[in-house]
Structure 1
Amino acid sequence: MATGKFYEIVGGKVDARTYNGFRRYHGSCNHCHGPDGMGSTFASALVDRLPDLEVFRRSVRDGVRSGPSVMKGFANDPNVAPYIDDIYAYLQARADGALGRGRPERLEN
């Protein structure tokens, strides 16, 4: 699945994948890319220019070198690698404007 929406939001609450993506993002990514994907002086905002899923997967797994900016790869990180699609779902919801800043509420199963 390389296109479409990877998140589900109902009544302002997010699905399990998107909620887990929020948790994983804030556990590993926000240190550089800022709270809620808004960017920092250290790394770019992800909500302003989220790449397609395949580019995102490759970037997170293998890392990125762009000019003076270097992001390490997370292919061997058990807290990130298995959850790349979940992180993408969260960032996609943020980039689409479907999800605001802060901890989302989770849909009950």
Structure 2
Amino acid sequence: MVGPAALADATPYQVVEGNKVDAGTLSGWRTWRALACERCHGAQQEGAVGPALTSSLKALSKDEFKNVVLHGRIDKGMPNFDGSKMVVDNIDNLYAYLKGRADGAIAPGKLQEAGK
């Protein structure tokens, strides 16, 4: 059995009131926005040309997510982002943001830093 502390450690984001998040998760959201990922994955990560990340992140492990984002799935239209300093530097934060969306903890739309 996993205790509450272990579960808290496993959650890569902190969110209050649906749109107030920790600094790292906010950085992940900013990375999402800067790279215009919504062009393929939809403004609310619900999918468009690319898959719905709100569903995908329920099944993908963090390592699988990082592999897909950094190395791409060229045959399926997903480019690799291992040449993007912003993505490489924020890959854990991007995962935190998208995992929070998939978990239903983070609301779609504009985010702000919690406590500010």
Q: Same fold (TM over 0.5)?
A: yes
What corresponds to 1:60 in structure 2?
69
TM-score (norm 2): 0.81
What corresponds to 1:5 in structure 2?
11
Q: C-alpha root-mean-square deviation of aligned residues, in Å?
A: 1.7
What corresponds to 2:42 in structure 1?
34
The 4+ residue runs of structure 1 with deviation greater than 2 A are none
What is the letter of the counterpart of residue 61 of structure 2? D
What is the letter of the counterpart of residue 43 of structure 2? P
More helix by share: 2
Aligned residues: 104
Deviations 1:47-82 (A, max 9, x none): 11211100001111111145xx22111101112121
More strand by share: 1
Q: CA deviation at 1:11?
A: 4.2
Give the whole-Å Cα distance in 1 for the aligned partners of 2:81 and 2:56: 20
TM-score (norm 1): 0.85
What corresponds to 1:82 in structure 2?
89
Give the whole-Å Cα distance in 2 for the aligned partners of 1:70 and 1:92: 22
Structure 1: which 5+ residue stretches go unaligned? none
Give the whole-Å Cα distance in 2 for the aligned partners of 1:4 and 1:36: 24
**Structure of larger gyration radius:** 2
Q: Check the 8 A contact 1:26/1:35 in 2, yes or no.
A: no
Structure 2: which 5+ residue stretches go unaligned? 1-8
